[in-house]
Amino acid sequence: MTRAPGFSIYNQDRLDDIDFVANFVARNKQAETLLNGLRNIAEGGPVEHQILIGARGMGKTSLLRRLAIGITGDPDLNAAYIPLRFREEQYNIISLDVFWRNCGESLAEYCEQQGNQALADQLDLAIETPEWRDDAKARDAFLAACHEAGGRPILLLDNLDLILAGIKREGSWSLRNALQKSDGPIVIGAATQLLSEGADRDAPFYEFFNPHILEPLSESELLACLNALATKRGIPGARVKVILAKEPARVRALYVLTGGNPRILTLIYGLLEQADSETIFADLETLLDQVTPFYKARVEEYQTPLQRAVIDGIALNWDPITSGVLSQQTGVEATTLSPQLIRLKRDGLVEEVETSGTRAGYQLSERFLNIWYLMRHGTRKTKQRLRWFTLFLTKLFSAEDIQRMAGDARSGKSSSHPFYREALYEAYDLLNVSCMDSSDTDDLNHQFGSPTLAPSSSSGESIDIGNSTATKRLKMIEVKNGRLLKASKYSDVLKLEAVAFEPSLSDPVHQNLVARLKNGRGIALNHLNRPEEAILVFDEVLEHVSGSAILNLQEREVAALVNKAEALFKLGRWQDAVAVYEDIVARFSMSDSPSVLTMLIGALFEKGRKLRKLKKTREAIAAFDQVVEHSGTNDKGPTREIVALALVNKALMLSDLNHPRDVIAVCDEIVSRFAASGASFLQVRVAWAFNQKGRALRKLRGLREAVASFDQVLERFGAKSGLALNEEVAWALVNRVSTLIDLDLREDAIANCREIVSRFGASDVLPLQSRVAWALNEEGRQLQRLGRHEVAIPAFDQVLQRFGTSEGESLRIEISIALINKALSLVDLNRTGEATTVFDDVVSRFEASDVPFLQGQVAWALTEKGRGFKRLKRPEEAIAIFDQVLDRFGESDALEPSRAVAAAVVDRASCLVDIGEVDEALCSLRAEARKERSAKGIKSAAHKRRMALLEFSIGWILFCYLYDIPGAAAAFSEAAALEKEFGKDSVPASANLCWVLLASSDLAAAKEVFARLDEFTGVGRRLWDAGFEIVADNLEASLAHLDAVLHVGLEDEGFEYFEALLWYLRIAAERGYGERVIAWFVATGNADRYAPVYGALVAHVRGARLLLDLNPEVRGVARPLYSRLSAGAGLQEAEGEGRKRKYRSKR
């Protein structure tokens, strides 16, 4: 799109074809149907002549032009047909020959446009000849000219009824004959009313034209058209798309006021694109200004005072008015009014409608004309009525667009589900911890070698045993033993003994070597899962070397004991293993030998590790403390590293226990001990300690101190190389980002994210790549929070570009997060089609994965896709998508998919309610709640949250749609109790429970529940006060509170109370105060200010038929309110009768 198309409201011919087609959005379906009809005729199908019927502004003339463009733009149609357009009003047609001359002129114009100037000139001359004054000759001449021009004529005739009236009956018969010829013209006409000739059996055109009635646009059609216009407009349209996504209330209100008139559609679009109005009323004023010339002319067609009085009386009443009331108002006798009303009905200005009484009512047919009339000619009071109505629409639709179901009750405008966000954070925590764990082991094994390995002959001290052949042989075997153990070739180690050595452990010369070999054998047996045999071997060694004063043998003793403990752990005899370690400590803690001490410390560390794995937290921490204690001031070599690791493990365990202050203390100790070291292993631990300290400070909400701690990592190690240190630096930046977010310094957080990318973006190492991907995702997320979706999307795209083909699990997780977030941004920008494509991409990429998180992503992608359809008010399609979620993941026990399933169940229920399938909605929610309740095991917070959401939703349906008070009370009570359990405030559930208790007249219980809700002051408080008073039968006091509420409006403190107002009114009516409240509404003027509510209340108290007495704009809004007020008295019909369908239960 190189330039944005312009607009023209009244004169479509001012637009060129390109602009015209770009703006043509409302009647595309009809255009396609008609063009297909022409294709069918061209292929030999039967000829059908068409007529478009529609009131002014419905798009007839535009559709005719669109057909002309469609014919010339399609090669096949262009080869077969010549589309001929005419002036909109062919007033000159008084006979058939004139008609054919007009056709000739139109053909000449067409030829000129097509470059056939010769034929155009020829026609111009011919039309003036006498031949063209004879209708038969003119007809033949015209058809011959069409033949010469190379096509069959399509006559696009606006105001066809005027033309036929002009040519009269005789001409009509001739015309019919011409149209019935095999090569005759094809007519596609237009008229504001059905042709009377079409219904007269004796008339030439009886049942001749196939009518297409152009009805006003529905709300969803209007939305689709506005979206289409915005897309075609390119960059200027982007703003409108955002408005359509973010301010649906505004668009809905404009629809109610303008009634789906396509002519007004372009005005509304122009308003959204150009105007920066603050209120819908301001929008309305702008629209009305633009239609004034058009409507003014329309009304001024009626020039007599009587006609004007009738129109005035009907329009200013706004509601349907009977002839009797009109007569009273105008002072004109009903018998005199009657012919005027008939004339106005025939003209289509006025229509007759049903009222609650026996007499019909009259109202203006074009509803926006009525609105215009009210504003331009109404009294102050009538204008005020309209102003209040538009205000009401804003609040009502805003309230309805906020999700009423729990989970998003307060912040329905968030673009990503709260469950989803929490899952991400938990997932990141998990990734972080598990990463640390594995690196400990790797580093330990790498740097120190497993303490379970006996020191090889290349380290440690040994007795000089001389150089005999046996000795040499033993040494060789021992060396081989060591190598095989290092290579983990345990079976080969066992085979070595067969090669063996004759000296036994009793041989004092070779005792050390033999003990070493025996220990090696024991280690091999352990690794081969033969711990009982291993213990026997170790016991054999101990039997011979225990208590020896020889250093080598002491080392063998320690090794045997340590490995024996390992074997005992394998057998599950952890207490026996601990006893062995205690024995080591007891025996060797005072040793002078550094190697023995080193082995001791290694043994204690191993003890701590094993106990940690067994979740013996206290014992493990004690073991790590022993490591530190027995290391004393030994800060050299492997000892330091073991001590560092022991402190790291201790910190991790304290973090698991949620003792952040203790964690900080341990981290400080790591830093103080090892900060000065240049050894990379220790530097990594120091960096880790700063990171861990920062995380602990975050937990204690010492956010700035946390940042300072992370900064230490960057300052000290930011320029260092080495993978492990780089990872710590990356973690520091990641943690810093999270902390900045906590501090609401999002721009700084974004900058940090970019730093991660710039530092590590070129890395090909998986852990660093994961951080880079995370950073890009986080940058995108923060941009989303700042509402900068257009910029967020490229950040997510980078994740895909950089890592889209990666197979690493952590990267695939980040890819899935990027895709979901990108799609959510597209949704926010109202680029729903693209969002759907991205959601589908998530599904196709990850549906085969067995990683629970990725399965959850697939589930969320489908759920969000379904929500997209729900937002577009396409509930059946939404339900179909939610059904997919349930089919695929309904039986899953994994955390993430089950969260998405719960959300899908709730949203599916909401869609079912929208189409009137309330019972089915309830069944599905109950089935899901039963499934959750029966899940085995300890219930996590997430599980309880899902249960609370389900119970809230059940309560909502029972109360709002079925008025099942006991059921609703039970459900809301359950929801409130669950919400309290996991720490979330239970305001929505308890608040609704309070109303349910009032509905059951249990005032005391209601007050008790309300007493626990201390955060309501203004509107909310007063509405409850009104409720308490009405249940206590203090009507006057109750109405005083209600007056205060309605005076202020129904939104306060971030809550909206619209539903509560309906509940209050229902309770009042049930207690017999219906008529008095109605009278109060009228007396206080609230009947006008809250006209739809008042209308619904009257219908509820006096009968549904009273809705007919409201004007269509107010009635359309009042009807669903009435349905909610009367819920439970019987099943209510769905809005949109034709869509009812039975949905099978998914459980």
Partner 1 sequence: MLIKAHHRGAERAELRARFASGSSVLMLAPRRIGKTWLLNKISEDLTLLGWLCIKIDVEGMRTENEFLRALCNEIEKTQALSARVKAHFFQRFKQLTTHVQDGNLYAAIGDIDPRDFLETLISSLNNEEQPTVILVDEVALFIHELAIEAPHQARSLLYHLRKMQQAFPRVRWFLTGSVGLDVVARRHNMLGALLGIDPYPLEPFTAAAAKSYLNELCANGEIGYPFSLNEDSFEHLALELGWLSPYYLRQIALQLRPTGTLADGQVHPLATIDDIERAFTQLLSPTQRLHFAAWEEHIDKNFNDIETRRLRAILDIASAEADGEIEATILTRLSISGEVLTTRVLRTLLSSLEIDGFLQKIVGRWCFRSGLLRRYWKEYMAYD
For position 360 contacting partner 1 by CB under 8 A, the verdict is yes
Q: Assess 435 for contact with partner 1 (CB under 8 A).
A: no
> Contact with partner 1 (CB under 8 A): which of 46, 75, 130, 1130?
1130
Q: Dump the DSSP string for 350-414.
A: EEEE--SSSS-EEEESSHHHHHHHHHHH--HHHHHHHHHHHHHHHHHHHHHHS--STTSSS-TT-
**Residue 206 or 388 having the CB closest to partner 1:** 206
Residue closer to partner 1 by CB (options 799, 913) is 913
CA atoms within 13 A on the CB side of 8: 13
| Min CB(359)–partner 1 separation in Å | 7
Phi, psi of 103 (to 5 degrees): -65, -40
Which residue in this structure is represented by tokens 């992503």?
A: 857
Distance (Å, whole) CA 57 – CA 295: 11
- 479 binds partner 1, rule: CB under 8 A: no
In this structure, what DSSP letter does residue 1140 have? -
**974, two tokens:** 């359950």
Structure tokens at 5: 């198309």
Residue position matching structure tokens 């711990």: 531
User: 10 Å Cβ neighbour count for 666?
Assistant: 27
Number of helices (H), then strands (E), in the chain: 52, 10
Among 37, 150, 211, 967, binds partner 1 (CB under 8 A): 211
Determine contact, residues 838/822, Cβ cutoff 8 Å. Answer: yes
Q: Is there binding between residue 213 and partner 1 (CB under 8 A)? A: yes
Asked if residue 815 lies in contact with residue 770, where contact means CB atoms within 8 angstroms, the answer is: no
Question: Tokens representing 789?
Answer: 């979706």
Between 162 and 723, name the residue whose CB sits nearer to partner 1. 162
Tokens of 866: 């379904």
Work out how close the CB of 355 gets to partner 1 at its nearest, in angstroms, rounded to a whole number: 9
198 binds partner 1 (CB under 8 A): yes
How many of the chain's residues bind partner 1 (CB under 8 A)?
33
What is the nearest approach in angstroms of partner 1 to the Cβ of residue 741? Answer: 51
User: What is the smallest separation between the CB atom of 351 and partner 1, expressed in angstroms?
Assistant: 6
Between 135 and 197, CB nearer to partner 1? 197
Q: Does 1075 bind partner 1 (CB under 8 A)?
A: no
Residue whose entry in the numeric block shows the structure tokens 């020191």:
455
3-state secondary structure at position 612: helix
Q: Is 745 in the site for partner 1 (CB under 8 A)?
A: no
- DSSP secondary structure of 924-977: HHHHHHHHHHT--SPPPHHHHHHHHHHHHHHHHHHHHTS--HHHHHHHHHHHHH
- Decide if residue 293 touches partner 1 (CB under 8 A): no
Is residue 196 a contact point for partner 1 (CB under 8 A)?
yes
**Least distance between partner 1 and beta carbon 1132 (Å):** 6
**981 burial level (CB within 10 Å; 0-12, 13-18, 19+):** middle
Nearer to partner 1 among residue 516 and residue 1115 (C-beta): 1115
359 belongs to the binding site for partner 1 (CB under 8 A) = yes
Q: List the interface residues with partner 1, window 1079-1108 (CB under 8 A).
A: 1103-1105
933 forms part of the interface with partner 1 (CB under 8 A): no
Q: Among residues 113, 1048, 1131, 1135, which is the contact residue for partner 1, using CB under 8 A?
A: 1131
Q: Which of residues 101-120 bind partner 1 (CB under 8 A)?
A: none
Taking CB under 8 A as the binding criterion, the range among 238-246, 294-302, 348-356, 618-626 that sits at the site for partner 1 is 348-356
Is the CB of 1054 or the CB of 1130 nearer to partner 1? 1130
Place of tokens 């079409």: 198
> Among residues 13, 16, 76, 215, which is the contact residue for partner 1, using CB under 8 A?
215
- The Cβ-side half-sphere exposure at 372, using a 13 Å CA radius, reads 24
Closer residue to partner 1, CB minimum distance, 572 or 966: 966
Give the range of 12-20, 79-87, 197-205, 933-941 binding partner 1 by CB under 8 A. Answer: 197-205
Report the nearest approach of partner 1 to the CB of residue 164 (Å): 13
The H or E element containing residue 51 is strand 49-53
Q: Is 786 in the site for partner 1 (CB under 8 A)?
A: no
Residues whose CB falls within 8 Å of the CB of residue 474, separated by 6 or more in sequence, listed in order: 501, 503, 510, 513, 514, 517
Q: What's the CA gap between 504 and 507, in Å, rounded?
A: 5
The residue within the footprint of partner 1, chosen from 121, 207, 582, 715 (CB under 8 A), is: 207
Residue 241 to residues 232, 246, 827, 828, 1040, Cα–Cα distance (Å): 11, 8, 10, 9, 43
- Choice from 345, 395, 587, 980 touching partner 1 (CB under 8 A): 345
Among 117, 129, 193, 504, binds partner 1 (CB under 8 A): 193
Q: CA 572, CA 58: separation in Å to the nearest integer?
A: 83
H-type alpha helices, 829-940 = 832-846, 852-871, 875-889, 895-914, 918-933
Q: Does 348 bind partner 1 (CB under 8 A)?
A: yes
Phi and psi at residue 308, in whole multiples of 5°? -65, -35
Nearest CA to 671 among 689, 684, 653?
Answer: 689
Of the candidates 593, 806, 1001, 1132, which one interacts with partner 1 according to CB under 8 A?
1132
1129 contacts partner 1 (rule: CB under 8 A): yes
1108-1127 binders of partner 1 (CB under 8 A): 1126
CA dihedral (1039, 1043, 1046, 1047) in degrees, to 10, reads 180
The single residue among 145, 188, 195, 505 that binds partner 1, judged by CB under 8 A, is: 195
Q: Does 342 bind partner 1 (CB under 8 A)?
A: yes
Q: Work out how close the CB of 176 gets to partner 1 at its nearest, in angstroms, rounded to a whole number.
A: 16
Phi and psi angles of residue 787, each rounded to the nearest 5 degrees, phi first: 75, 15
Minimum CB–partner distance for residue 1120 and partner 1 (Å):
13
Asked if 1047 is part of the footprint of partner 1 (rule: CB under 8 A), the reply reads no
The 8-class DSSP code of residue 275 comes to -
Site track for partner 1 across 136-175, x = CB under 8 A: ----------------------------------------
Compute the least distance from the CB of residue 287 to partner 1, in Å. Answer: 25
Q: Of these, 148, 351, 625, 876, which contacts partner 1 (CB under 8 A)?
A: 351
Closest contact distance (angstroms) between CB of 2 and partner 1 is 42
Closest CA to 280 of 397, 391, 400, 396: 391
For partner 1, the closer of residues 257 and 350 by Cβ is 350
The nearest distance, CB 348 to partner 1, in angstroms, is: 7
Shortest Å distance, C-beta 336 to partner 1? 17
> CA nearest 901: which of 549, 1069, 1146?
1146
Can you tell me which of 87, 147, 346, 661 binds partner 1, judged by CB under 8 A? Answer: 346
For partner 1, the closer of residues 196 and 940 by Cβ is 196
For residue 346, the minimal CB distance to partner 1 (Å) is: 7
Which of 352, 635, 834, 841 contacts partner 1 by CB under 8 A? 352
Report the relative pairing of strands 1051-1052 and 1055-1056 from DSSP bridges: antiparallel
Within 8 A by CB and 6+ apart from 281, the residues are: 387, 390, 391
Decide whether 606 or 917 has the Cβ nearer to partner 1. 917
Taking residue 128's Cβ as centre, other Cβ atoms within 10 Å add up to: 12
CB of residue 173 vs partner 1: minimum separation in angstroms? 19
Residue 1072 engages partner 1 in binding (rule: CB under 8 A)? no
Site for partner 1, rule CB under 8 A: 193-196, 198-199, 201, 206-207, 211, 213, 215, 342, 345-346, 348, 351-354, 358-360, 365, 1103-1105, 1126, 1129-1133
